[in-house]
Amino acid sequence: MVLTESELVEAVARDRAAGRAIAFANGCFDLLHVGHVRYLQGAAAEADRLIVAVNDDRSVAGLKGEGRPILPASDRAELVAALRRVDYVVIFGDPTVERLLLLLRPDVHCKGTDYSVESVPERAIVAGYGGRTAIVGDEKTHATREILARVARTEDQGPPRDQGRTEDQGRTKDQGRTKDQGRTEDQGRTKDQGRTEDQGRTEDQGRTRDQGRTKDQEPSTKDQAR
């Protein structure tokens, strides 16, 4: 769940009273990818509860540069909170997480594999209140920057060739159907015309026969004289 700092302090106090250990992780998570998921899974394995601090929009812009963040902090926080192993999410705008660490005093401060324990900036602060630092997650082989670059290359290349062929085939089939329909309609009209002509001939023949019979039925003048 996404909490305010005051709500988070209360939640952590309840967990501590219940004897639960607290782990802490942080990041921009813009865009969320499998490397982030594995990092957070590793952090969750270090304790009973996992807090994730998500950088606000201004701090992401300062860290990542122009065009970032892609998603606003509220969306990024909601996505992280939806992960099964994450218990609490808080949005922060400080340059570092030092203040949050001193406020919450998590048992374990978790960083990704792009750090070593010795290179973690907050290591001394964590050690000072009795916590420890852990390096978790898989190797740093996933990056949002690379994903965006692949998307840009795909857009530059345009639609796949097969898709273009499919559209052409669709047009060809439609044209074929149109031609077939045209032939069918022409054939239908020809048949109708043929039937009409046959009917006309039949009617003419009938009238001719009737006229012939009428003449045969009329007595000739000579017969009447007789």
Q: How many helices (H) and strands (E) does the chain have?
A: 9, 5
Given this model, what pLDDT does residue 202 score? Answer: 46
Exposure class string for 187-221: b at 16+ Cβ within 10 A, else e: eeeeeeeeeeeeeeeeeeeeeeeeeeeeeeeeeee
> How far apart are the C-alpha atoms of 65 and 42, rounded to whole Å?
28
Whole-number Å distance between alpha carbons of 161 and 123: 53
Strand partners, 119: none
Look at residue 154 in the predicted model and tell me its pLDDT. Answer: 75
Q: What is the pLDDT of residue 53?
A: 99
Could you read off the pLDDT tens digit of each residue along the chain, which spans 226 residues? 999 999 999 999 999 999 999 999 999 999 899 999 999 999 999 999 999 999 999 999 999 999 999 999 999 999 999 999 999 999 999 999 999 999 999 999 999 999 999 999 999 999 999 999 999 998 876 666 666 566 767 777 766 565 555 555 555 555 555 555 555 555 555 455 545 454 545 454 544 444 444 444 444 433 333 3
Question: What pTM was computed for the model?
Answer: 0.67
pLDDT at site 223 = 39
The Cα–Cα gap between 197 and 187 comes to 15
Amino acid type, 38: R
Whole-number pLDDT of residue 180: 53
- Indicate the CATH number of 5-157 among 3.40.50.360, 3.40.50.620, 3.40.190.10, 2.40.37.10: 3.40.50.620
Q: What is d(CA 51, CA 104) in angstroms, rounded to the nearest whole number?
A: 10
